[in-house]
Amino acid sequence: MRRRRFVRVHILVFLAPAVLIYTAFMIYPLFDSLWLSLNNKGATANQIFVGIQNYQTLFGQEQWSKPFWNALRNNALFFLIHMLVQNPVGLLLAALLGARIRGGAIYRSIIFTPTILSVVIVGFAWKLILNPAWGISRSVLAAVGLSALDHPWLGLESSALVTLSLISVWQNIGIPMMLFLAALIRIPEELMEAARVDGAGVWKIFWKIQFPLILPTVGIVAVLTFVGNFNAFELIYATQGALAGPNFASDILGTFFFRTFFGYQLQPADPFMGSAVAGIMLLIILTGVLIYLFGWQRRLQQIQY
Amino acid sequence: MAKPNSQTWRIITIHAGLLAYSAFALFPVLLIILNSFKDRLTIFSAPFALPDAETFTLDGYQTLSSTAHFELFFLNSFLVTASSLALIVVVSSMAAFALAEYKFRLNFLTGLYLAIGIMVPIRLGTVGILRMMVELHLVNTLWSLILIYTAQGIPLAIFVLTAFMRQLPKDLKDAARIDGASEYRIYWLTLPLVRPAIGSVLAISMLPIWNDLWFPLILAPGESTKTLVLGAQAFLGEFVNDYNAVLAALTLAILPPVLLYFVFSRQLIRGITAGAVK
């Protein structure tokens, strides 16, 4: 008992640096932001408490609500495309790599390469490739007989967001691929062998044995995609600028948040409204995380035990 | 009964699929690097050709070295990344040691509190961060970035290190205690045992710091504190029509992460999976 008390000082010394840095530079600013979202400039340019007025402005005044809903809608589509393209294709690549063929490690490294690059670099590289002035996409499409698909994809309101989403998929596919692969190779080979002996085909083995066993990873990939997408900014900023053109067609919450609190060109910086936007983003992300923790993970645990 | 023939076809199909996707993943990167060594005319007339004696040029790289301080940007990125990583590893391994080693009342709650940051992006506190950095007079200093990246990296680092430290055998530490070693000494002795986990933490924390654009743009946009990614971003925007210069800048910016990846790929893969297991 006496020894326990003696130990406590060490515990404090060990924990203090990490807890202090984390609290001061991550948790405190988050709460400070939430507090700022409940304040605004007073008559004499001082800060006064205004309750939920900023949020009312965000949802009630058209000059705010229109761009906000536009960004949220775009962000939802951005996320949907990742869920429908990035994660299934990532799973497919993982399944191919999981077959343990020769050269698997080389394929894996190559496919992961875009993931390690800066979004700025990736965005700009694709911008060049898709730029009609250089004509790369035109000649590639002509070579495979798809000339009809040649458009200035990033320049059109109708296609900019989908194109950017696919560029982001191209870059980030390495993460789901790695996570799915790690889950697939943990499945004991005997399980699949037994099914094969019973005459099950590759397709049936995948859906009846492998897929149910990697469901926990499916959940992790989904929640990581959700948090990453609703917090995205760099790709849009690097390729389309802070105005997320053309005509805000590629504006997502990250770029909307940036313009609001930091200001851009004619729009003055507004830390109070910016905090309110961050507050809504926090709410969206927390909702997603909680659905994952209590909806998905809980249910899986119930099935397992 | 799988016939050898159908097995062969299966393997060929798998290779074909992976080969096709690998080409798709590498094509844009190779195209950029290749064309950065060609003269302006050939970049447009024959974008897929290899540079030869006649078309080879370093014009883009010369424009780069004469107009932007890329050495300085590189140094800034290096200082920020290295200092943040060092801080992350030191403070996180200490905290992880406490959480894994001692039973105390707030152990679970402290772990939970530190884990919030794994899922909640630090960016959402940017307004508060900017305000604080202004008050601390840290805007346009590398310290603002180092402190933020350390705070950002701590949660996942502690999570991975704690899981790893819990698996260490108790006997070793108890033997040291009987020999009269202090708790600090025991922490120091366990560090070499968790080297693989520290490698994973370094690998997963490194690239998000090196590649970040958000915080350099907001906290340290000054010419003397620009990181490589921000410097490249500004340069690309300014020289958008000078293809030689743009391609050269992209190539230079691609190299460091690719080199880091080659050195740390094993740790990186282990780290990605370790961080997401729970």
CB B219 within 8 A of CB B139: yes
This prediction has a pTM of 0.92
What is the C-alpha to C-alpha distance for residues B165 and B111, in angstroms, rounded to an integer?
A: 14
Residue B186 at interface with chain A, using a CB cutoff of 8 Å: no
Nearest to B125 among A30, A134, A182 (CB): A30
Report how many Cβ contacts below 8 Å link chain A to chain B: 247
The domains of chain A, with CATH numbers, are 54-115+173-304 (1.10.3720.10)
Q: How many structural domains are present in chain B?
A: 2
- Chain A nearest CA to B53, separation (Å): 23
> Among the three residues B12, B43, B59, which one is the final residue of a domain in this structure?
B59
My answer on whether B81 and B26 are in the same domain is no
Which amino acid is it at B221?
P
Q: What percent of chain A has pLDDT over 70?
A: 96
Residues of B in contact with A26 (CB under 8 A): 117, 122, 125, 151-152, 154
Closest chain B residue by Cα to residue A119: B211
In chain B, which stretches have pLDDT less than 70?
1-4, 275-278
Q: How far is CA B161 from the centre of its chain?
A: 18
One domain for residues B147 and B205: yes
Cα B108 to Cα B153: distance, rounded to the nearest angstrom: 20
DSSP characters over B192-257: GGGHHHHHHHHHHHHHHHHH--HHHHHH--STTT--HHHHHHHHHHHTTT-HHHHHHHHHHHHHHH
What is the ipTM for the molecules in this complex? Answer: 0.90
CA distance A212 to A229: 26
pLDDT in tens, B206-254: 989 999 999 999 999 999 999 999 998 988 888 888 888 889 988 988 8
- Cβ neighbours, 10 Å, residue B73: 25
Q: Is pLDDT of A2 > 90?
A: no
Beta-carbon count within 10 A of B46 CB: 13
Q: Does B112 touch chain A (CB under 8 A)?
A: no
Q: Are residues B212 and B91 in the same domain?
A: yes
- B55 and B68 part of one domain: no
Tell which wins on pLDDT, A152 or B87. B87
Mean pLDDT, range A250-263, rounded to an integer: 95
In angstroms, the CA A198 to CA B217 distance is 59
Question: What distance in Å separates the CA atoms of residue A241 and residue B247, rounded to the nearest whole number?
Answer: 19
Q: Which among A154-158, A184-188, A294-298, B126-130 has the top mean pLDDT?
A: B126-130
Q: Among B59, B86, B103, identify where a domain stops.
A: B59
Average per-residue pLDDT for chain A: 90
Residues 44-83 of B with CB under 8 A from A: 44, 47-48
Judged by CB atoms closer than 8 Å, whether chains meet at A22 and B21 is answered as no
B12 and B128 co-located in one domain: no
- Cβ distance B187 to A128 less than 8 Å, yes or no, reads no
Closest CA to A37 of A65, A57, A67, A12: A57
Report pLDDT for B139. 96
Distance from the A70 Cα atom to the nearest Cα atom in chain B, whole angstroms: 19
| Domain match, B46 and B155 both | no
Is residue A34 a contact partner of residue A274, using CB atoms and an 8 Å limit? no
The partner residue sitting opposite A231, judged by closest CB among B28, B121, B265, is B121
Say what the pLDDT of residue A296 is.
84
Interface test with B, best of A85, A89, A117, A196 (most B CBs within 10 A): A117
d(CA A293, CA B118): 13
Contact B232 A120 (CB under 8 A): yes
Which whole number is the average pLDDT over A224-247? 93
Contact A197, A152 (CB under 8 A): no
CA pair distance B135, A59, nearest whole angstrom: 31
| Shared-domain flag, residues B142 and B29 | no
CB contact under 8 A, B110 and A15: yes
Q: CA nearest B36 in A: which residue?
A: A125
Nearest to A90 by CA among A225, A201, A208, A199: A225
Q: What is the pLDDT of residue B275?
A: 65
Question: What percentage of chain B reaches a pLDDT higher than 90?
Answer: 55
Contact B150 A8 (CB under 8 A): no
Yes or no, beta carbons of A125 and B28 under 8 Å apart: yes
* pLDDT tens per residue across span A41-83: 887 778 889 999 999 999 999 999 999 999 999 999 999 999 9
Inspect the interface and report whether the beta carbons of A285 and B121 lie closer than 8 Å. Answer: yes
Query: B113 contacts in A (CB within 8 Å)?
Result: 19
Cβ of A120 within 8 Å of Cβ of B236? The answer is yes
**Is any Cβ of chain A less than 8 angstroms from the Cβ of B123?**
yes
- Look at B125 and A29 and tell me if their CB atoms are within 8 Å: yes
DSSP assignment letter at A42:
-
**Which residue do the tokens 């194109």 mark?**
A163
Nearest to A14 among B94, B232, B236 (CB): B94
B49 and B161 part of one domain: no
Helix (H, G, I), strand (E, B) or coil at A45: coil
Which of residues B44, B59, B74 is at a domain's end? Answer: B59
**What would the mean pLDDT of A185-212 be, rounded to a whole number?**
88
Assess contact for A119 and B217: CB atoms under 8 A. Answer: no
Q: What are the distances in angstroms from CA A249 to CA A72, A74, A278, A280, B214? A: 12, 8, 21, 21, 21
Q: Which domain holds residue B16?
A: 4-59
Q: How far is CA A86 from CA A177, A227, A232, B129, in A?
A: 9, 15, 15, 32
Q: Say yes or no: B55 and B67 in one domain.
A: no
CA-nearest residue to B11 within chain A is A101
Q: What is the DSSP string of A51-80?
A: TTHHHHHHHHSHHHHHHHHHHHHHHHHHHH
Q: CA torsion sign, B157 to A177 to B15 to A165? A: negative
List the single residue in B98, B123, B150 with the smallest CB-CB distance to A15: B98
Alpha-carbon distance of B70 to B175, in angstroms, equals: 53
- CA B237, B240, B245, B249 dihedral sign is positive
Q: Does B203 touch chain A (CB under 8 A)?
A: no
Note the pLDDT of residue A5: 52
User: B95: which chain A residues are within 8 Å (Cβ-Cβ)?
Assistant: 14-15, 17-19
The per-residue pLDDT for B3 is: 54
Coil, strand or helix at A132: coil
Query: Nearest-CA residue of chain A relative to B104?
Result: A8
Closest chain B C-alpha to A156 CA, distance in angstroms: 19
- Asked if B85 and B184 sit in the same domain, the reply is yes
- Partners of A19 on chain B (C-beta within 8 Å) are 95, 110, 113-114
Please state whether the peptide bond connecting residue B196 to the residue before it is cis, i.e. omega within 30 degrees of 0: no
Once rounded to an integer, what is the mean pLDDT over residues A249-269?
A: 93
The neighbour count for residue B81, using CB atoms within 10 Å, is 25
CA distance A286 to chain B (A): 7
Q: Do B127 and A274 lie within an 8 Å CB cutoff? A: yes
Lowest mean pLDDT among A2-16, A169-183, A227-241, B105-119: A2-16
User: Are residues B99 and B24 located together in one domain of the fold?
Assistant: no
Looking at the fold, whether B157 and B50 belong to one and the same domain comes out as no
pLDDT of residue B4: 61
Q: How confident is the model at residue A1 (pLDDT cuts 50, 70, 90)?
A: very low
How many angstroms separate the CA atoms of B211 and A44, rounded? Answer: 41
Cβ atoms B156, B204 nearer than 8 A = yes
**CATH number (domain holding residue B227):** 1.10.3720.10
